[in-house]
Structure 1
Amino acid sequence: MAKKLFDYQLDEPVEGFFLLKDSEVRIAKNGKKFLAINFQDISGEISGKFWDASDQDVENFQAGRIIHLKGKRETYQGNPQIKIQQMRLTHAGEPQEVQQFVEHAPLNTQTMEDEVNQFVFAITEPNWNRIVRHLLTKFHADFFSYPAAKKNHHAFAGGLAYHTLSILKLAKSVADEYPHVNRPLLYAGAILHDMGKTIEMSGPVSTTYTLAGNLVGHIVLIDEQIVEACQQLKIDEQSESVLILRHMILAHHGLLEYGSPVRPHIMEAEILHDLDELDASIQMMQTSIGHAEPGTYTERIFAMDGRNFYRPTHDQTKGDLDGHASQD
């Protein structure tokens, strides 16, 4: 059985077929072009540099293509890296199906859809329920197949729905513990908070940001969709219920410098922000810890202030933490 990317140990030769998740042309100090690449398979992704890239190399090695790689597993500034020795496009009879190299959510689409729908039933406020149902229907296919980010947390196929479902489960625990929390509002906000990423990003394979994603961003994009839904459903968009729901989405990044137009001014908005941060952080740590051996440190996690995390020697969760290989 062929090894996966993260099966290779430090200084071990690497050889196999992998997906080019990213491939960006850059200029080295000597003025020559090189490609900054992220190789991917179902175990995750590792970066590499293809030096002295010719125009033909740039044409051949584009994001979304499958290649055969020979190289060596190394580290650079605390992060795993592949030293590329040889790289070529696949030939006839070799792997051609991109989906077999794409990391997937641990739950399949049908399971996530069924579980999300159970939370929709608990949204008893009529306006929130109608808006959520309308937008879930409109963005259904993308919502259950897109990643939650290009990089960092839940950056795998189905990651958007999986992240949303994780927050919903956390929200239920919070609402069970604190009865005064507005459960329907918290659920509605959780389902909608990142749905704008279906417009912000290009899809689950070799994900990039769209023009709207770069210039507007997912928070404003889904807020616009809520207003449009109100118009189509004949709901007063200036009613308190709609304004409160919009506030949940607009405030969920917590701080203005993190992209939120407003800071949370409703208890449920603050809770949603906290749960969003919690789930994203745990997923990033869990993924990195799954790539580390007991008794060693993980790679540095850029989105967590560049910190790395120690995996204790008594950790027995290796099988549970490795990868997200479940398929639909």
Structure 2
Amino acid sequence: MAKKLFDYQLDEPVDGFFLLKDSEVRIAKNGKKFLAINFQDTSGEISGKFWDASDQDVEHFQAGRVVHLKGKRENYQGNPQIKIQQMRLTHPGEPQEVTQFVEHAPLNTSTMEDEVNQFVFAITEPNWNRIVRHLLTEFHADFFNYPAAKKNHHAFAGGLAYHTLSILKLAKSVADQYPHVNRPLLYAGAILHDMGKTIEMSGPVSTTYTLAGNLVGHIVLIDEKIVEACQQLKIDEQSESVLILRHMILAHHGLLEYGSPVRPHIMEAEILHDLDELDASIQMMQTSLGHAEPGTYTERIFAMDGRNFYRPTHDLTKGDLPTDDAQN
């Protein structure tokens, strides 16, 4: 059985087929071109640099293509890296289907659809329920297929729905513990909060940001869709119920400098922000810890202030954290 990226140990020779998730042309200090690459398979992604890249190399080694790679597993500034020795495009008869190299959510689509629908049934406020159903129908295929991010948390196929479902389950626990929390509002906000990423990003393979994603962003994009839904459903978009729902989405990044046009001013909006942060942080730590051996530190996690995390030896084994097999 072929090794996956994270099966290779430090200083071990690498020899296998991998997807070019990202391939960006840069200029080295000597003035020559090189490619900053992220290699990907179902175990995750590792970066590498292809030095002295010719125009033909730039043309051949574009994101979204499968390559045969020979190199060595190294570390650079605390993060795993591949030293590229040889790289070529695949030949006929060799692996070429990009989807076999894409990481997937631990739950299959039908399971996530069923579980999300159970939460939709619990949205008892009529306007919120109609808006959520309308937008879930409009973005259904992409919502259950897209990643939640290009790089950081839940950056795998189905990650958007999986992240949303995780927040919904956390929201249920919070609402069970605190009866004064508006459960239907929290559920509706959770389902819609990141749905704009289906417009912001290109899809689950070699994910990039669309023009609308770069210039407008997912928060404003889905807020616009909520307003459009109200117009199509003949719901007063200036009613308090709609304005409160829009506030849930607009405020969910918490701070203006993190992309929210307004800070949370409703209890449920603050809760949604906190649950969003919690789930994203746990997923990033969990993924990194799954790549670390007991008694060692993870790679540095950029989205968590560049910190790395220690994996204790006394109570953790590989079986306690997600493995590649859990994806299949």
TM-score normalised over the length of structure 2: 0.99
In structure 2, the CA distance between the partners of 1:315 and 1:83, relative to structure 1 (3 Å rule), is farther
Q: Deviations 1:226-261 (Å, cap 9, x if unpaired)?
A: 000000000000000000000000000000000000
Measured in 1, the distance between the counterparts of 2:114 and 2:21 equals 30
Using the aligned pairs only, state the percent identity: 94
Distance 1:153 1:315 in 2: 25
Query: SS in structure 2 opposite 1:120?
Result: helix
Secondary structure of the 2:306 match is coil
With CA pairs under 8 Å and 6+ residues apart, which has the higher RCO, 1 or 2?
A: 1
In the TM superposition, what are the counterparts of 1:57-206 in structure 2 within 5 Å?
57-206=57-206
Contact 1:104/1:325 (<8 A) preserved: no
How far residue 134 of structure 1 moved from its aligned partner, in angstroms, is 0.2
Distance 1:180 1:194, change over 3 A: same
1:192-229 CA deviation, whole Å, 9 max, x = no partner?
A: 00000000000000000000000000000000000000
| Distance in 1 (alpha carbons) for counterparts of 2:93 and 2:264 | 55
> What is the alpha-carbon distance in structure 1 between the residues aligned to residue 84 and residue 323 of structure 2?
23
Contact 1:294–1:313 (8 Å) recurs in 2: yes
Higher mean C-alpha deviation, range 314-323 or range 112-121: 314-323
| CA drift at 1:282 | 0.2
Q: Distance in 2 between matches of 1:324 and 1:198?
A: 26
Displacement, 1:323?
4.1
In 1, Cα distance between equivalents of 2:81 and 2:212: 32
Structure 2: gaps (5+ residues): none
Paired residue secondary structure (1:83)? strand
Residues 121 and 274 (structure 1 numbering): CA distance in 2 closer, same or farther, change over 3 Å? same
SS across alignment from 1:325:
helix
Alpha-carbon shift at residue 317 of structure 1 (Å):
4.0
**How far apart are 1:97 and its partner, in Å?**
1.0
**In the aligned structure 2, how far is the partner of 1:305 from the partner of 1:191?**
27
| Cα contact 1:105–1:325 (8 A) shared by 2 | no
Q: Within 2, Cα distance between the matches of 1:146 and 1:180?
A: 34
In the alignment, what sits opposite 1:246? 246
The separation in 1 between residues aligned to 2:150 and 2:39, in whole angstroms, is 14
Residues 94-149 of structure 1: CA distance to partner in whole angstroms, max 9, x if unpaired?
00111110000000000000000000000000000000000000000000000000
Q: 1:154 & 1:325 partners in 2: Cα distance?
A: 17
Q: Is the CA contact 1:68–1:90 (under 8 Å) kept in the aligned structure 2? A: yes
Q: d(CA) in 2 for partners of 1:155 and 1:320?
A: 21
* Aligned CA distance change for structure 1 residues 285 and 152 (closer, same or farther; 3 Å): same
Contact 1:90 1:96 in 2 (8 A): yes
Asked if the contact 1:123–1:183 (Cα under 8 Å) also holds between the matched residues in 2, the reply is: yes
CA distance in 1, matches of 2:67, 2:225: 39
Deviation for aligned residue 1:319:
2.8
Q: Secondary structure at the match of 1:220?
A: helix
Any idea what the Cα deviations from partners look like across 1:56-103, whole Å, max 9, x if unmatched? 000000000000000000000000000000000000110011111000
- Of 306-315 and 162-171, the range deviating more from structure 2: 306-315
Q: Indicate the SS of the match to 2:95.
A: coil
Q: CA deviation at 1:326?
A: 5.2
SS in structure 2 opposite 1:296? coil
Superposed displacement of residue 327, structure 1: 6.0
Q: Name segments (4+ residues, structure 1) moved above 6 Å.
A: none
* Deviation at residue 283 of structure 1 after TM alignment: 0.2
Give the superposed CA RMSD.
1.0
Question: What is the CA distance between 1:324 and its match in structure 2?
Answer: 5.2
Query: CA offset at residue 25 of structure 1?
Result: 0.3
Q: Give secondary structure in 1 for the equivalent of 2:325.
A: coil
Query: Within 2, Cα distance between the matches of 1:132 and 1:102?
Result: 29
Q: Which moved more, 1:314-323 or 1:54-63?
A: 314-323
Q: Distance in 1 between matches of 2:323 and 2:66?
A: 20
Report the equivalent of 2:45. 45
TM-score, normalization by structure 1: 0.99
Q: Could you tell me whether the CA contact under 8 Å between 2:123 and 2:188 is conserved in 1?
A: yes
